[in-house]
Structure 1
Amino acid sequence: MADDALPLSERYEACMVLSGVGDALGYNHGSWEFERNGEVIHREVAKKGGLARLDAKDFLLSDDTVMHLATAEALTEVGKKGKETLQRLIGELVKKYIECMTDMHGRSAGLTCLSSMNLHSGRLDGDHRIPFNKRGGGCGAAMRAMCIGLRFPSPDQEGHLIAASVESGRLTHHHPTGYLGALAAALFTAYAVRRSPLVEAWGHGLMKVLERAKEYIAQAGHCVDQNLQNCDYFENAWQAYLTERGILDGTGTPRFPDCYGVKERDQFYSRVSFKGWGGSSGHDAPMIAYDALLRAGDSWEELANHGFFHGGDSDSTAAIAAAWWGALHGFRRVPQLNYKRLEYRKRLAEAARQLLQLRSKPFDEDK
């Protein structure tokens, strides 16, 4: 359970900083992100002395956190400039995403993000929309969207959260499987901030919010038919997952297999994935992160075992899961070695501070 005595400021900071920790540990300079056998990763973690002995200074952040910071800093930059609108935010996001592409050495930037930023860099017409992409269902939109939930955590801001996550996502991943992953990452962060119950509210709430997202997609008027015709995969995958766990209707206790070790988790993560690499798509990156959070409770070590160290796209699932965990639990029982010397820790903490200040600020509708 979350600690009700924790100040919101710590939870915001932990959301951003621990997301970076999850990313860095799940990535491990690429050797763990691209290792398809989770048992190999767990053996290597054990050889290093276990999770508590992993020093953040030895782990480089991947493209996930660089782009998450870009999203957060776009949100805060627009927040400093008076009237905030969705179009201003979209423009600032494009600017920050292009800028952050210069900080990708050794960070394994995704090809979809790179190609989309090349497209944006060459445009002079001020139109930030990109064509529908039938291959745009990767997790690159989800991995960077948690901070949107920090900016719009309240139920009455849900419409802004939907618009910001959808549009931030389809700046690079213009396919519902991709950008609806950004919606899930942001929405669950908002649920964590307001401490909505994990079973009763999260998955059940997402299924309801997806209907509002479809309404937004239709209203936004960009490639409407293609988008709406391709929403089913994300929705059906989540419905199947929640049904398997026995929590589709937001009641009950999550059902896990009697034997759910490293090998079994790898098999399950692969099964719910698009093409066998668990966590690499927009639907299953937040799904695996949520699965890890349900299983771990308030144990940082169990969160890492389930969400960081597996034979899939481990840095993305870790970045998402750790953000939610931090928003719930702060830095409670997280070894300081895991985060004190994290690359860009001060930037992450400052972004969190500014998002906390903005959280109740009105967001204007575009006129």
Structure 2
Amino acid sequence: MDKFKAALVLAGVGDALGYRNFSRENNALGAKIQQELKEIGGLENLVLSPDKWPVSDNTFMHMATAEAVITEYRSLEDLYRELVKRYLDAIDKLSGRRPDPATIEGCRELKPDNHLLAWHTPFNEKGSGFGASTKAMCLGMRYWQPEKLEFLIEVSIECGRMTHNHPTGFLGSLCTALFVAYAIQGKPLAQWGREMMKVVPMAEEYCKKTIRHMAEYQEHWFYFEAKWQFYLEEREINNENQNKPVFPDNYDAEEREKTYRRWSSEGRGGRRGHDAPMIAYDALLGCSGDWTELCNRSMFHGGESAATGSIAGCLYGLVYGLSKVPKGLYQDLEQRERLEFLGENLYRLSMEEK
């Protein structure tokens, strides 16, 4: 249970740390952010107060997902209706937090008063963003057992499509949910990417059965798979005999900025559904359990650092817990009690046989 609670809390911590730089993300590079952090005493002396270090819409949407999946729903359709209601409630409370425009646009298509079609939204050319991936981690905590893989595929895709109805977007939600499940299962880190790539064809089969006009989606489907295949080859963990990721000899903050931009589709690391989980995963692979190193790699860079930080924090919590994280980063965290409550309930429900 402690690691479930740590996952939700550290997702919030990673979000808050990355979100602080939102207004200057386009020009504040990782090296500068890390230098400024040293000047104010470093991570170990930092206290994340709600007024100075608030969480972003990522955390509120993630909590909305978690709150829906701990309700006593009788069917997945009931769960989807609950998700619609909670997403719209969350969006209403985000004034002043500069929520992701793609998430707002996606929520406009939800139909809470239509019992049959509440969660059905049209294909969206602009729906390839990171927002689906940052609200889906808790789904992997609810359906982490291998025998529940089909549930996890369906729920993560439908959850993602509600706000980001584009393969790059909703495959991001599948990816983060799967990585969380792998963390709980105890799979070696280097295998996660390979295992995810085996599930993507299963996701495509599910979509072919449930999406009426699949042709619009299929022309974009390959992009997500291709980007991840290139990444796994770059780290040399693309086949079963390779379980030690290879990083460049020089992989400092400046080099990481270049790499993240290269992985991105628009020169801003973590902006899309493929590279937000990718940067978080890369940070976890490269930090060797060191919390500060994870933060440097995933939360302090010049891209969408709130998104990559949120995903990386969640995964770190499941693998390593809270013991290596300075208390000042989470003791006064905004929404901490609610996040811990959700972690406890996700643990309890996921351990019950249904």
Matched, 1:289 2:280: yes
Equivalent-residue separation in structure 1 for 2:113 and 2:179 (angstroms):
34
Deviation at 1:123, TM superposition (A): 5.6
CA deviation profile, 1:151-189 (whole Å, cap 9, x unmatched): 011111111111111000000100000000001100000
CA gap of 1:225–1:296, structure 2 versus 1, over 3 A, is same
CA gap of 1:126–1:332, structure 2 versus 1, over 3 A, is same
Check conservation: 1:32, 1:314, Cα contact below 8 A. no
Deviation at 1:225, TM superposition (A): 2.1
Name 1:21's counterpart in structure 2.
13
Matched, 1:309 2:300: yes
Name 2:225's counterpart in structure 1.
235
SS of the aligned residue for 1:209 comes to helix
Equivalent-residue separation in structure 2 for 1:20 and 1:329 (angstroms):
16
Name 1:54's counterpart in structure 2.
46
Matched, 1:221 2:200: no
Matched, 1:70 2:60: no
User: Please, which of 312, 318, 333 is the counterpart of residue 324 of structure 2?
Assistant: 333
CA gap of 1:101–1:249, structure 2 versus 1, over 3 A, is same
Q: Letter of the aligned partner of 2:5 in structure 1?
A: E
Q: Letter of the aligned partner of 1:214 in structure 2?
A: E
Name 1:119's counterpart in structure 2.
109
Matched, 1:163 2:185: no
CA deviation profile, 1:97-127 (whole Å, cap 9, x unmatched): 0000122133221111112222325764641
User: Please, which of 167, 174, 182 is the counterpart of residue 173 of structure 2?
Assistant: 182
RMSD: 1.5
Check conservation: 2:176, 2:277, Cα contact below 8 A. yes
CA deviation profile, 1:57-91 (whole Å, cap 9, x unmatched): 131000100100000001112xx24x3x2211111
Deviation at 1:297, TM superposition (A): 1.6
Q: Letter of the aligned partner of 2:100 in structure 1?
A: G
CA deviation profile, 1:316-357 (whole Å, cap 9, x unmatched): 000001100001111021100010100000000000111111
Check conservation: 1:53, 1:337, Cα contact below 8 A. yes
In the alignment, structure 1 segments of 5+ residues that lack a partner are 1-8
Equivalent-residue separation in structure 2 for 1:220 and 1:249 (angstroms):
31
TM-score, with length taken from structure 1: 0.92
CA gap of 1:325–1:158, structure 2 versus 1, over 3 A, is same
Check conservation: 2:235, 2:247, Cα contact below 8 A. yes
CA gap of 1:26–1:108, structure 2 versus 1, over 3 A, is same
Equivalent-residue separation in structure 2 for 1:302 and 1:17 (angstroms):
18
Stretch moving more, 34-43 or 301-310 = 34-43
Deviation at 1:33, TM superposition (A): 4.5
Q: Letter of the aligned partner of 1:334 in structure 2?
A: V
Name 1:153's counterpart in structure 2.
144
CA deviation profile, 1:215-267 (whole Å, cap 9, x unmatched): 11112234322223321000000000000110011424211111000000000
Equivalent-residue separation in structure 2 for 1:163 and 1:311 (angstroms):
33
Deviation at 1:31, TM superposition (A): 3.7
Deviation at 1:49, TM superposition (A): 1.0
Q: Letter of the aligned partner of 1:19 in structure 2?
A: A
Equivalent-residue separation in structure 2 for 1:29 and 1:317 (angstroms):
13
Equivalent-residue separation in structure 1 for 2:58 and 2:46 (angstroms):
20
Matched, 1:208 2:198: yes
TM-score, with length taken from structure 2: 0.95
SS of the aligned residue for 2:331 comes to coil
Name 1:6's counterpart in structure 2.
none
Q: Letter of the aligned partner of 1:113 in structure 2?
A: T
Stretch moving more, 54-63 or 145-154 = 54-63
Name 2:264's counterpart in structure 1.
273
SS of the aligned residue for 1:291 comes to helix
In the alignment, structure 2 segments of 5+ residues that lack a partner are none
SS of the aligned residue for 1:249 comes to coil
CA deviation profile, 1:186-220 (whole Å, cap 9, x unmatched): 00001111111011x20110110111111111122
SS of the aligned residue for 1:105 comes to coil
Equivalent-residue separation in structure 2 for 1:59 and 1:32 (angstroms):
15
Equivalent-residue separation in structure 2 for 1:122 and 1:345 (angstroms):
29
Deviation at 1:272, TM superposition (A): 0.3
Deviation at 1:358, TM superposition (A): 1.1
Stretch moving more, 298-307 or 220-229 = 220-229
SS of the aligned residue for 2:301 comes to coil
Equivalent-residue separation in structure 1 for 2:2 and 2:24 (angstroms):
29
Q: Letter of the aligned partner of 2:196 in structure 1?
A: L
Q: Letter of the aligned partner of 1:43 in structure 2?
A: Q
